Amino acid sequence: MCPLNNLPGNNQQKGMKLILLTGFLGSGKTTLLKRLLKEYDDTRIGVLMNEFGENSIDGKLIQTEDFDLIELTNGSIFCACLKENFIKGLAEFLNRDLEIVFVESSGVADPSNMGVILKTVTKISGAAYHYMGSICIVDGFYFLKQFEVIPALEKQLYYANTVIINKADLQTPKTLVEIEAKIRKTNPDATIRQTSFCMVPIREMVVGMNGLQMAIRPSKNTWESRPKTSVLKTKVILDFEKFRDFLQEIKFSTHRIKGFVQTTQGVFEISCVNDYAVINPWHQPIEETELVFISSVGIKMTSDLLRSWKYFFGEIAIEI
């Protein structure tokens, strides 16, 4: 790791502050971000978001005119595939009158090269961020299953200043102790908070972040290693009951499903993490159904998706 003071042009007392939000798919990053926006409604902030898929799902969930939002899609911001766009986004924010920039990374982001990225931003912009550190959100319900098979999760924990164990209400006290022990083994210096629905004192957490160290190693994320994504689209209004049954079946083939769907009972926001599915009414119009499916096994997921779709919806046209 690289001491923050070693970054060229950086001044601990001045400069636009930057905070990274990490956490595996479905852990609660967007929930935290929505709470954060309310907490900082009196502060000039910028938000740089990243998602899988061609269009933004999370951007719709936090849409407002009270802050500057730049969205990146189609991969991890710390993967070589999008690093250039990420750097340009960070450099652009430095030209705006902002106090803090929050970066919501994709769930599979490996922050190992954050130091290298910020050095590059400084070189091309002539200005530097005051990097405060990162907040990592852990899915308390699925963490023990995910930790052993998702390399990026360990990296996110390793470089975190604060770790939020979210969804603590869905877990037993004994398992929460085990989760915290695993986190401590990976990062003994991190502050750990247990909560549900990301109910944490955000301003207090940010003030306590000192940003003394950051990652300056090559990221292990590549096109080959990152989870695979499929985006399903259709303009057909779907039968609600059939869609619900379709979702209950296909969720077992994915890490994450999110998006919006038009049904005979109205528009709904869809959010699935592993086998836990939530369907919430959405009170804004959408042009078409758009769902993002994320899995570690792309070919199998696509095969399962097409098979399940045909079983429940027959020949209804879709775009994948």
For the CA atoms of the chain, what is the radius of gyration? Answer: 20
Cα–Cα dist 172/151, whole Å: 25
Nearest to 219 by CA among 4, 11, 22, 15: 22
| pLDDT value for 108 | 58
Q: How many CB atoms neighbour CB 253 within 10 A?
A: 18
| pLDDT value for 88 | 86
For the chain, how far is it from start to end, CA to CA, in angstroms? 41
Buried-exposed string 130-144: b where 16+ CB fall within 10 A, e elsewhere = bbbbbbbbbbbbbbe
Dump the DSSP string for 226-257. SPEEEEEEE-SPBPHHHHHHHHHHHGGG-SEE
Cα–Cα dist 90/78, whole Å: 13
Q: How many CB atoms neighbour CB 65 within 10 A?
A: 6
Q: How many CB atoms neighbour CB 224 within 10 A?
A: 5
Query: Beta strand 16-23 with 129-139: parallel, antiparallel or unpaired?
Result: parallel
Q: Would you say the pTM of this structure is higher than 0.85?
A: no
pLDDT 10s digit of each residue in the chain, 320 long? 433 333 443 433 457 999 999 987 778 888 898 888 888 888 888 888 765 444 454 445 445 555 566 655 544 444 444 556 788 888 988 988 888 889 887 665 678 778 888 888 999 899 999 999 899 999 998 898 888 777 778 888 998 999 999 999 999 999 999 999 999 999 999 999 999 999 999 999 988 887 655 544 445 544 444 567 788 899 999 999 999 999 999 888 887 888 999 999 999 999 888 777 889 999 888 999 999 887 765 567 788 888 999 999 998 888 87
Nearest to 3 by CA among 115, 107, 91: 115
Helix 240-250 to helix 298-313 angle (10° resolution) is: 150
CA angle, 259 then 100 then 118, to 5°? 90
Cα–Cα dist 185/264, whole Å: 49
| pLDDT value for 70 | 62
Burial class of 49 by CB neighbour count within 10 A (0 to 12, 13 to 18, 19+): buried
Cα–Cα dist 310/303, whole Å: 11
Report pLDDT digits (tens) over 267-291: 999 988 877 788 999 988 899 999 9
| pLDDT value for 41 | 84
| pLDDT value for 162 | 93
Q: How many CB atoms neighbour CB 184 within 10 A?
A: 14
Report pLDDT digits (tens) over 40-92: 888 888 888 765 444 454 445 445 555 566 655 544 444 444 556 788 888 98
Q: For the chain, which domains are there?
A: 2-214 (3.40.50.300), 228-313 (3.30.1220.10)
CB 221 within 8 A of CB 76: yes
| pLDDT value for 136 | 94
- Collapsed DSSP state (helix, strand, coil) of residue 39: helix
| pLDDT value for 266 | 95
| pLDDT value for 174 | 96
Dump the DSSP string for 107-175. TT--GGGHHHHHHHHHHHHS--EEEEEEEEEEETTTHHHHHTT-HHHHHHHHT-SEEEEE-GGGS-HHH
| pLDDT value for 302 | 81
